[in-house]
Structure 1
Amino acid sequence: MESSDSDGIPPVWFTVPDGFHPLPIAATPDERAALADGFVRELFPNGDDALWASSAPYYARMGELVGSCGLEYSALGLFARDEGGVAHCAFHVGAVESGHPSVEAAATGIREVLVRDETNDVRWLDLPCGPAVSCITLREFTVPAELAADGQDTRLRTGQIQVHVPFPTGPYVAVFALDTAATDYWGEFCDMTAAVLRTVSFDPPQE
């Protein structure tokens, strides 16, 4: 169970599945260093001291960077494919201030803004914790030949799932976002995100 509670933002709890590796977001360099050490040992369980020692500072810096962007939680998702290889994604949770009079008013306003972009697939969600709005976007990019491994222009398709969940406990909106270039695993990522959203709660978990 993960919780965010900083800068006066009320806490929110949610559960992520196995395969998500939280980046070391912390207030001080020493805390980030300690979290980064545990992160690389979990991410590379078959590594050695040399690999862990060289990788930890990089991920500590990443944790500092995403924390400075206002994210409360950030993780790398790595999942083994049945056919071999790994499907990967990035998962982030942040909060933005909103002066909404009610969660319904906030969700309605968010939906009205997002539907103005015709490339967005926008939907109203009734979660156990209250109303929310999802926005799914698929984009295609061309990787120039000089940057591609095979020396040819390569088409790259990416997808993002973004879900806005208004806080009933304060003037904020939680934003859950999953980004991936592994769009052949898209159905699984959609199901995974839906499962996480069903666990979102603004009340402390019961023991």
Structure 2
Amino acid sequence: MRHPTERPPVWFRLPPGFHSIGTADRDSLDGFARAFESDAAQAELAQLMAGLDQLGALDVVHTALGFHPAEDGGVCTSLFSLTILAADDPNPRLSVARIALSMARSSAWETSAQRVIDLPSSLPCYLVGGTITGPDGEQSLFQARVATTHPAGFHLLVLDLTSPALEHQEAYTDILEAIAHTLTFTDPDPSPATAAPRSRVLDLLR
């Protein structure tokens, strides 16, 4: 029997364009930055890895970077993260409602909207999305957050997707909701590799 304080296993599917990243990838990313022979690239990488170290201390168990083509020929970037927290109440629906309310009331929001998500598992799930003030206090960022629970009731799951591409906030909200729909708590049966399906984000951000 799994102890209530142990983090439970969670599986989910990221759409095309997202690449999982962690502190173990530091050396390969550092080599990638050096290949550009750019001090700015190496400085940005150092800032990114420092941020990932901080996230690890905040119960974040998975991070991924999203890269999708922008209409102007550039690239839209985003950061996905999954956090697993110990539930503060034996009633999972009450725990999820509390954390969703806490997220919605955060002073970081410039604008926000909330809604309930109907998951196939019937677990309680809430989404909060809107714009927040960036770390520099000047740039606004889009962020969508989903709160749900592990079926055992001992842990809460928080999924985050953040991007500076404010013009695509509706698409990014749909992406995060789609990821939430893929959450599963038993190891899915392996299946033969198939061609990756077209992602709605690719369609919307082209």
TM-score, length of structure 1 as denominator length: 0.69
Larger RCO: Structure 1 or Structure 2 (Cα < 8 Å, ≥ 6 residues apart)? Answer: 2
Cα offset, 1:170, TM superposition: 4.3
Cα offset, 1:200, TM superposition: 0.7
Give aligned-pair identity as a percent. 23
Structure with the largest fraction of strand: 1
Greater Rg over alpha carbons, structure: 1
Q: Runs of 5+ in structure 2 lacking a partner? A: 191-206
> What is the identity, as a one-letter code, of the residue corresponding to 2:146?
V
> What is the identity, as a one-letter code, of the residue corresponding to 1:36?
R
Label 1:105 to 1:139 Cα distance change in 2 as closer, same or farther (>3 A): closer
Tell me if 1:85 matches 2:74: yes
Q: How far apart, in 2, do the equivalents of 1:81 and 1:94 lie?
A: 28
The one-character-per-residue Cα deviations of 1:117-160 (angstroms, maximum 9, x if unpaired) are: 7954222222123221111132467x89xxxxxxxxxx743221
Q: How far apart, in 2, do the equivalents of 1:114 and 1:49 lie?
A: 39
Question: 1:121, 1:135 within 8 Å by CA — same for their partners in 2?
Answer: yes
Q: Runs of 5+ in structure 1 lacking a partner? A: 1-6, 26-31, 145-154
- 1:1-207 to 2 correspondences below 5 Å: 8-25=6-23, 32=24, 35-39=25-29, 48=35, 55=42, 58=46, 60-114=49-103, 120-129=112-121, 130-139=123-132, 156-207=139-190
Q: What's the C-alpha RMSD, in Å, of the aligned pairs?
A: 3.3
TM-score, length of structure 2 as denominator length: 0.69
The one-character-per-residue Cα deviations of 1:55-86 (angstroms, maximum 9, x if unpaired) are: 59836544433212321011221111233111
Label 1:112 to 1:61 Cα distance change in 2 as closer, same or farther (>3 A): closer
Query: How many corresponding residue pairs?
Result: 177
Cα offset, 1:174, TM superposition: 0.6
The one-character-per-residue Cα deviations of 1:22-48 (angstroms, maximum 9, x if unpaired) are: 2224xxxxxx2xx3344567x77xx84
